[in-house]
């Protein structure tokens, strides 16, 4: 998105669908006012949720079936109530634990604190959570544990049968992240060895029949102890009817050309015409969100009448924990909070004040092409399932409205029912290493809920072999393979860290690893590109972005982590705080696996070598005589260009490696560093053969 907001641009025309009953108009709970709801005791609030009527049925089905699939509207009480029902029924007795997985960290923390509050306990005791880099559970006390599906997979490395858990609830299973799919396949396997383990698969928008078919098709189970109660293997499906509160859906009459601008004008329109109540806007990523925040802030400055009383908060994964948590703070009386978010707020979250949702209809999605071996992050239309989840962030504690920035005709006829599972559109390097670490050797024969493309699997194995992570028999190597699997980051980054240990630059490389986990450390500067470019020049290193990050990081520390320093230098203060947070966590992990922290001072050459040791598969060379700065990937001969945000844009060194590719009008490499091509042969002799590199040097 690069269009500019013009104050006074025509506001979108919204089609009010109050009577149509398109979606979300049925309500099994009377739409009581928010204040009435707010004063009810916790127990009363729990009993008012639609899922409460199904308490006995749920407990019966879980008792009698190995797997229960529960489908119920957003906000009906699945996530917060079912684990409590299970605990009340004794599933956490005798040292056993009830687990509930979520695709996202933010949701894990939020639901854990809600459930702890409802139970009147402290988070970290009876109710705990674990997310990457953070474990707030107590071995002796925790009965209900919320965790990301990725973390549960990691737990399997130490306890392959997950023996601690009596019931595992895989929540928001419609998301079909890679981790969810691996988890479903493995849990099905575990059930054959542990028939007493119960699974609950839940979501508001899951295709229950196909999920049931997946769990139904199984090989004959190995012998059970005589006399044991055997739950039925055929999955049970339960549909929880009813939803919390009414959500009116509004569509635009005509397709919009600029969803950022339209989202901003919709927020102002709501603020102008609608009663108080917070607004949650779904955009696609940090760049869109920063732009929308900037538009709204400018509007507040130039046109106070339109926007007084607005508190504008961005929400994306690149923000520090403290900044993300601002969205949960109560809105001061007479004010209106506007949370502008990526899809990290799409599932499971209840933000109490939210009355209005604005849905752009887009999200950033990964698409991998095994032929070109390039994974792109593309702004793509969401599915109906996502749209329903987004609308479902309203109507949870009071009636709400959802403004969809697409037409009703588009929603009905063109939007796909569900997204493509991530496993079918991603680079599988991380996935393969995870399965290998869990001892799954025959990856192609693994029981997937949706099979990944075999070409992508083969590509992933090739890269892992060249990284020295798997051996000739495709087994994890020792120690490299096991160490790489131990670090919870992309294997290429993990390998870069391991190499830095040998090269004596681990301090610098973990800083780079932390910064690479953030979308951008620069402030998006619409209208101030020249100033941003000048600011970048102050830090720019001729070697490329990775070394530039080190300069920015050093400057930030020297400034005493000052927000003023960031502002002056067009550096994103939130991103820098997040980088420091991530770096600290990473430091602890790498030290645990025996990496010695050592700085190379200003020997940039070793830093570049370490980056190459991780990212050699992303090597590119400048096309000779290219006027336009066209590069070709060494492996797939794909046309790529240096992204304008890179310090190497227009510098165009002959040889580079990149961290990721984004597609807009062209395929652009982000985070680029110049290399010496001879290093490719040094670090990955199998991957690159001499004759390929020599002619173009």
**Binding residues for ligand ATP (CB under 6 A):** 49, 72, 74-81, 114, 204, 244, 347-348, 350, 352, 392, 396-397
> To which residue do tokens 């029902």 refer?
85
Closer residue to ligand ATP (CB): 72 or 677: 72
Tell me which residue of 595, 497, 604, 589 sits closest to 550, measured CA to CA.
Answer: 604
What is the rounded CA–CA span in Å between residue 135 and residue 421? 28
Distance between the two ends of the chain, CA-based, in angstroms? 37
Closer residue to ligand ATP (CB): 152 or 354: 354
How far does CA 15 lie from the centroid of its chain? 32
Question: Please, are residues 185 and 446 in contact by the beta-carbon 8 Å criterion?
Answer: yes
Output the CA–CA distances (angstroms, integers) from residue 648 to 515, 545, 669, 670, in the order listed. 17, 7, 10, 10
* CB of 147 vs ligand ATP, minimal distance in Å: 16
Phi and psi angles of residue 535, each rounded to the nearest 5 degrees, phi first: -60, -45
> To which residue do tokens 């490299």 refer?
480
Question: Please, are residues 283 and 263 in contact by the beta-carbon 8 Å criterion?
Answer: yes
Residues with Cβ within 8 Å of residue 371, at least 6 apart in sequence: 455, 636
* CB of 21 vs ligand ATP, minimal distance in Å: 21
Closer residue to ligand ATP (CB): 75 or 370: 75
What is the rounded CA–CA span in Å between residue 362 and residue 300? 26
* CB of 242 vs ligand ATP, minimal distance in Å: 11
Preceding peptide of 522 cis, ω within 30°: no
Phi and psi angles of residue 367, each rounded to the nearest 5 degrees, phi first: -135, 125
* CB of 82 vs ligand ATP, minimal distance in Å: 8
* CB of 72 vs ligand ATP, minimal distance in Å: 6
> To which residue do tokens 């392959």 refer?
160
What is the rounded CA–CA span in Å between residue 364 and residue 566? 27
Closer residue to ligand ATP (CB): 199 or 456: 199
Tell me which residue of 509, 442, 498 sits closest to 467, measured CA to CA.
Answer: 498
The CB density around residue 4, as the number of other CB atoms within 10 Å, is 13
Question: Please, are residues 511 and 583 in contact by the beta-carbon 8 Å criterion?
Answer: yes
* CB of 50 vs ligand ATP, minimal distance in Å: 8
Handedness of CA 247, 253, 257, 263 (dihedral sign): negative
Closer residue to ligand ATP (CB): 118 or 676: 118
Phi and psi angles of residue 126, each rounded to the nearest 5 degrees, phi first: -60, -35
* CB of 126 vs ligand ATP, minimal distance in Å: 17
* CB of 124 vs ligand ATP, minimal distance in Å: 17
Closer residue to ligand ATP (CB): 17 or 175: 175
Residues with Cβ within 8 Å of residue 234, at least 6 apart in sequence: 65, 216
SS3 content of the chain, % helix, strand, coil (to 5): 40, 20, 40
DSSP per-residue letters across 69-136? EEEE-TTSSHHHHHHHHHHHTTTT-TT-EEEEEES-HHHHHHHHHHHHHHHT--BTTTEEEEETTEEE
* CB of 28 vs ligand ATP, minimal distance in Å: 12
Closer residue to ligand ATP (CB): 83 or 150: 83
* CB of 85 vs ligand ATP, minimal distance in Å: 11
* CB of 123 vs ligand ATP, minimal distance in Å: 13
* CB of 173 vs ligand ATP, minimal distance in Å: 11
């Amino acid at each position: 998105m690069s269009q500019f907001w013009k104050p006074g641009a025509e506001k979108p025309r919204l089609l009010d669908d109050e009577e149509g009953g398109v979606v979300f108009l049925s309500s099994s709970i009377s739409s009581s006012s928010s204040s009435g709801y707010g004063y009810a005791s916790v127990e009363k609030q729990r009993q008012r949720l639609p899922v409460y009527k199904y308490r006995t049925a749920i407990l019966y089905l879980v008792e009698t079936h190995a797997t229960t699939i529960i489908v119920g509207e957003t906000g009906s009480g699945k996530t917060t109530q079912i684990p409590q029902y299970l605990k009340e029924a004794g599933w956490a007795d005798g040292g056993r634990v009830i687990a509930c997985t979520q695709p996202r960290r933010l949701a894990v923390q939020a639901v854990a604190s809600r459930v702890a509050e409802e139970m009147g306990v402290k988070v970290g005791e009876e109710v705990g959570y674990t997310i990457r880099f953070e474990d707030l559970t107590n071995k002796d006390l925790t009965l209900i544990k919320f965790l990301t599906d990725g973390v549960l997979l990691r737990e399997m490395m130490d306890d392959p049968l997950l023996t601690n858990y009596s019931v595992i609830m895989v929540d928001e299973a419609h998301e079909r992240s890679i981790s969810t799919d691996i988890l479903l396949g493995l849990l099905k396997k575990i059930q054959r060895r542990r028939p007493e383990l119960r699974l609950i698969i839940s979501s508001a928008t899951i295709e229950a029949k196909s999920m049931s078919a997946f769990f139904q098709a199984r090989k004959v189970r190995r012998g059970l102890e005589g006399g044991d109660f055997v739950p039925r293997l055929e999955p049970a499906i339960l549909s929880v009817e009813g939803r919390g509160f009414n959500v009116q859906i509004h569509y635009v009459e005509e397709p919009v050309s600029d969803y950022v601008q339209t989202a901003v004008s919709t927020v102002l329109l709501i603020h102008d015409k609608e009663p108080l109540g917070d607004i949650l806007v779904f955009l696609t990523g940090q760049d869109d969100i920063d732009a929308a925040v900037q538009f709204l802030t400018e509007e507040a400055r130039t046109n106070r009448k339109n926007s007084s009383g607005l508190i504008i908060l961005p929400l994306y994964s690149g923000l520090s924990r403290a900044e993300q948590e601002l969205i949960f703070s109560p809105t001061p009386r007479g004010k209106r909070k506007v949370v502008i978010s990526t899809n990290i707020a799409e599932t499971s979250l209840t933000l109490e004040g939210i009355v209005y949702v604005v849905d752009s209809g887009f999200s950033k999605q990964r698409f991998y092409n095994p032929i070109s071996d390039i994974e792109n992050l593309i702004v793509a239309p969401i599915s109906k399932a996502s749209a329903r989840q987004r609308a479902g962030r309203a109507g949870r504690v009071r009636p709400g409205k959802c403004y969809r920035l697409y037409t009703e005709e588009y929603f009905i006829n063109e939007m796909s029912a569900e997204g493509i599972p991530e496993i079918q559109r991603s680079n599988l390097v991380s996935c393969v290493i995870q399965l290998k670490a869990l001892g799954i050797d025959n990856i192609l024969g693994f029981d997937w809920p949706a099979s990944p493309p075999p070409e992508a699997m083969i590509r992933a194995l090739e890269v892992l072999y060249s990284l020295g992570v798997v051996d000739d028999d495709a087994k994890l190597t020792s120690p490299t393979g096991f160490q790489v699997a131990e670090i919870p980051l992309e294997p290429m980054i993990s390998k870069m860290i391991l190499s830095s240990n040998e090269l004596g630059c681990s301090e610098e490389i973990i800083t780079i690893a932390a910064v690479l986990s953030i979308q951008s450390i620069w402030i998006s500067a619409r209208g101030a590109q020249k100033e941003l470019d000048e600011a970048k020049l102050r830090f720019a290193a001729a070697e490329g972005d990775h070394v530039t990050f080190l300069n920015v990081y050093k400057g930030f520390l020297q400034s005493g982590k000052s927000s003023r320093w960031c502002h002056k230098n067009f550096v994103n203060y939130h991103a820098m705080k997040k980088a420091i947070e991530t770096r600290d966590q990473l430091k602890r992990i790498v030290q645990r696996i025996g990496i010695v922290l050592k700085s190379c001072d200003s020997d940039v050459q070793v830093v570049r070598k370490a980056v190459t040791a991780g990212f050699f598969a992303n090597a590119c060379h400048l096309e000779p005589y290219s006027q336009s700065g066209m590069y070709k990937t060494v492996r797939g001969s794909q046309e790529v260009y240096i992204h304008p945000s890179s310090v190497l844009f227009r510098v165009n060194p002959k040889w580079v490696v990149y961290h990721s590719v984004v597609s807009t009008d062209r395929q652009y490499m982000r985070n680029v560093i110049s290399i010496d091509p001879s290093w490719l042969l040094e670090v990955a002799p199998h991957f690159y053969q001499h004759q390929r590199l020599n002619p173009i040097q």
